[in-house]
């Protein structure tokens, strides 16, 4: 690990002990991360009760391996989590289980195979160029980087999924996503009281307008493609229209297409944009790390936008992204139901209980990481990674349900970040953002940075 002084970025202050029902509801509605007790950062499992419900928070690699891989069928996604997502993404790849999940996964996985992802790199390079142009034109004031990164990654996912934005209004769509996260994406008191999921939650009702906005745009794109026929080269929508279950011959209905496209558009740009925004915030507050990443990017790119072949020559840029997702994993807290009795560490896990997969605490755990709360890209240097337990770092999940687009996301993030670092220097503007999680871990109120072209910086120094 680094011997130099390290930047300690903002995090949540954990409660000293697990919270009761009303305190948990209040905390979760403000920020899911607020319910993670301090003991989670020193123990592999924490068990408690909230009202009538017994739960376990798991943040040890052995327990997470059992849940994600060894006994995965025993731990389906929780009913509360599905309730929050179902209005937007239905029984899509993310929410489905069993046979319905397996055939969708087989159908969709080919578009994210390594050879296909590599063929998408030129599109990512063009998007990185446009993002750099927008940043350059922003003027001398602070630039809000979350908005810029969401726009950049939305460009890419629309090209990959729909061959363009023709049927999508990016500003209206982004506003609808935010409204959805703040309504349906928040836990309800009824969830904590274990009221049956068929009873409507207020958040789901409030989210209906957002769902109509997002679904309307995606449905128009599907309808147009049905009329036009497939594109060349293929995009994700073409793959899904042609997808067929090899066992039953079943193909996706328009509703299946709508829900899966909705999921990929939201997940495919939101999480990568957040990783980029946090990366830029962290570098802006660590001039030494920023200088090293810039020197690497400038030396490889020499003024041009990055491509896929450049990334292996810029390992430190990738380390920065990995470290940003360690400190701020886009999805930091997951929930699973328990179907049958099991044992994790020294705990009996009973049917009907809830297990929380505490990725946030795993990534900042005092037993597993040196300087766990500090920003240090050396956590992901080759020597540090060698021999590390695979289940100590899980920004994309693990096991059979590992994120199908993980390679796509990392390539996209690397190309955009390297292109920006080769052209600009970044410095903090205003108060540091706080990490707040509803569905994803967003910086609140945003990431405002001063941006200076590297040529202008050099001229000023001269």
Query: Which of 330, 338, 402, 354 has the alpha carbon at shortest distance from 94?
Result: 402
Query: Which of 327, 322, 297 has the alpha carbon at shortest distance from 415?
Result: 297
Query: Which of 199, 177, 179 has the alpha carbon at shortest distance from 189?
Result: 199
Query: Which of 267, 156, 262, 271 has the alpha carbon at shortest distance from 217?
Result: 262
Report d(CA 237, CA 250) in Å as an integer.
16
Return the half-sphere exposure (C-beta side, CA atoms, 13 A cut-off) of residue 106: 15
The answer to whether 197 and 83 are in contact (CB under 8 A) is yes
The position carrying tokens 């903002």 is 10
As beta bridge partners, residue 347 has 344
Three state DSSP letters for 204-251: HHHCHHHHHHHHHHHHHHHHHHHHHCCCCCCCHHHHHHHCECCCCCCE
Report d(CA 234, CA 232) in Å as an integer.
5
Query: Which of 225, 173, 217, 211 has the alpha carbon at shortest distance from 84?
Result: 211
Instruction: State the DSSP string of 97-155.
Output: -HHHHHHHHHHHGGGGSHHHHHHTHHHHHHHHHHHHHHHHTT-SS-EEHHHHHHHHHHH
403 annotated as ligand-binding = yes
Sheet containing 424-428: order of strands: 143-144, 448-453, 424-428
Angle between helices 145-162 and 170-182 (to 10 degrees): 110
The position carrying tokens 């979350």 is 146
Alpha helix ranges (H) inside 229-327: 236-242, 254-284, 287-301, 315-327
Residue ranges at the known binding site for heme: 403
Residue ranges at the known binding site: 403
């Amino acid at each position: 690990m680094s011997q130099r002084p390290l930047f300690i970025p903002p995090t949540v202050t954990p409660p000293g002990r697990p919270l009761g029902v009303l305190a948990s509801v209040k905390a979760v509605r403000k920020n899911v991360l607020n319910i993670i007790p301090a003991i989670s950062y020193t123990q592999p499992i924490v068990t408690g009760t909230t009202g009538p419900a017994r739960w376990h928070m798991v943040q040890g690699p052995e327990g997470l391996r059992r849940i994600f891989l060894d006994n995965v069928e025993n731990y389906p996604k929780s009913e509360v989590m599905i309730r929050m997502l179902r209005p937007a993404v239905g029984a899509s790849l993310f929410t489905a289980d069993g046979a319905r999940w397996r055939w969708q996964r087989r159908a969709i996985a080919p578009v994210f195979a390594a050879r296909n992802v590599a063929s998408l790199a030129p599109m990512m390079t063009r998007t990185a160029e446009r993002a750099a142009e927008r940043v350059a034109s922003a003027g001398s004031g602070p630039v809000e980087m979350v908005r810029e990164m969401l726009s950049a990654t939305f460009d890419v996912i629309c090209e990959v999924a729909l061959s363009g934005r023709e049927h999508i209004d990016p500003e209206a769509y982004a506003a609808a996503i935010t409204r959805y996260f703040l309504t349906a994406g928040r836990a309800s008191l009824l969830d904590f009281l274990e009221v049956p999921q068929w009873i409507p939650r207020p958040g789901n009702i409030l989210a209906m307008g957002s769902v109509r906005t997002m679904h309307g745009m995606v449905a128009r794109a599907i309808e147009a493609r049905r009329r036009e026929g497939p594109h060349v080269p293929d995009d994700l929508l073409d793959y899904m229209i042609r997808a067929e279950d090899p066992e039953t011959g079943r193909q996706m209905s328009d509703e299946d297409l709508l829900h899966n496209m909705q999921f990929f558009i939201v997940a495919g740009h939101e999480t990568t944009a957040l990783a980029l925004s946090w990366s830029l915030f962290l570098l802006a507050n660590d001039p030494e790390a920023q200088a090293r990443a810039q020197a690497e990017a400038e030396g490889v790119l020499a003024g041009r936008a990055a491509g896929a072949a450049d990334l292996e020559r810029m390992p430190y840029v990738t380390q920065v992204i990995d470290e940003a997702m360690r400190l701020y994993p886009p999805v930091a807290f997951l929930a699973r139901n328990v179907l049958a009795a099991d044992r994790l560490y020294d705990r009996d896990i009973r049917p009907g209980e809830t297990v929380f997969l505490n990725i946030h605490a795993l990534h900042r755990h005092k037993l597993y990481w040196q300087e766990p709360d500090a920003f240090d890209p050396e956590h992901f240097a080759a020597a540090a990674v060698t021999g590390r337990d695979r289940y100590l770092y899980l920004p994309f999940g693990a096991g059979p349900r590992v994120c199908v687009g993980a390679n796509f996301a990392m390539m996209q993030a690397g190309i955009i970040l390297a292109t920006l670092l080769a052209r600009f220097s970044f410095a903090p503007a205003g108060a540091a953002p706080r990490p707040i999680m509803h569905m994803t871990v967003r910086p609140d109120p945003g990431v405002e940075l001063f941006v200076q072209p590297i040529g202008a910086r050099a001229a000023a120094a001269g």
